[in-house]
Amino acid sequence: MGQDVASKAHHCRNTNVVCHFCPPKRFRQLTKIYHYTKLATAIEHILPKMKLRTGSLHGMNDPKENQPWAFGGRNVNYVVMYPETYSQVNHIDHQYKFGNDIKSSCQIICFVKDKPEKGFKNEIMWAHYADNHKGLCLELDAELFIEENKEYLTEYVFESVTYGQHEKPFIASDFELTKEQAIQKIVKACYKDLFLRKSDYWEKENEQRLLIFDKNQKYLSISESLTGLYFGLQMDDNYRPSVDRFVDEKQTHLFNLYYEKNKLKVMETDKNDFRPIITKKFLKGE
């Protein structure tokens, strides 16, 4: 997967994969995707640059992903892959080193899907990733997001995380492969098990992941695809000017959240309209 597939004929067998080499209808089914963030991160990093930063599994919350991995398997030749450091004495250390190199081979951005309910209504995500409603939620048009970042997306998938008990994938390599070649082969065969599997405890996140098969961190543009901003229930309105200054009101809609009848609800607001939600509801006669 380390080769540039842009120069080759593309054969995408997985109908759940979103890929800019496939017909546009493949990713139009995603419609909107949502990314939760803390207020400071949005104001200081995301909105000024209109970019989302990728990360690796090392920074995830799930222990399955952030704890050290160790990989052995059939025809895994540590002597070829680590010629300067490997010995029988430190064999176990190199199993962990190999696991770390596999984990580091993929860059990730996490989103919430728009189904079965709107992604901005995910209360778990507000609590875990938006500072308990002190932050905000970004709404992106999935098709436009892929299109405006296609220069970085020569090798990627855009797929849903699956949840449940999963066995550790069996690693099969070729004895003569270099480390880079071995990792490329393993990731191509096992990316779902490696990067798109979580336990049942995380199921309420309803997560969609963009995987970029590259070890280098990326900054992906949202300047054309940012269609909405949702302000958390406890977000301090004193920071609204710092958010609104970056918003193109012709493209990006702004929404206040409120809680009513045991449900999260939204009311669209105008740029630079900082009135409390209760005032807006009263003036609308609700």
267-281: pLDDT as tens digits: 999 998 887 776 666
pLDDT recorded at residue 169: 75
Residue spans per domain, the chain: 1-53+106-153+203-286, 57-103+165-198
Positions in the chain whose pLDDT score sits under 50: 1-29
The pLDDT value recorded for residue 70 is: 87
Q: For the chain, how far is it from start to end, CA to CA, in angstroms?
A: 55
Query: How high is the pLDDT of residue 19?
Result: 46
239-273, pLDDT tens digit by residue? 999 999 999 999 999 999 999 999 999 999 999 88
The confidence score (pLDDT) of residue 10 equals 35
Q: Which amino acid is at 203?
A: E
Please give the pLDDT value at position 97.
94
pLDDT at position 9 is 31
Residue 201 is classified by DSSP as G
Six token digits for residue 8: 């080759």
Do the beta carbons of residue 265 and residue 258 sit within 8 Å?
yes
DSSP state of 46: I
Task: Give the model's pLDDT for residue 253.
Answer: 96
What are the C-alpha distances in Å from 65 to residues 106, 182, 195, 269? 12, 20, 8, 38
The pLDDT value recorded for residue 281 is 62
Q: State the alpha helices, DSSP H only, in the chain.
A: 25-28, 39-41, 47-49, 63-66, 78-81, 91-103, 123-129, 142-148, 179-195, 240-244, 277-283
Dihedral sign for Cα atoms in the order 246, 250, 251, 256: positive
Residues 22 and 2: their CA atoms lie apart, in Å, by 19
Q: What is the pLDDT of residue 264?
A: 92
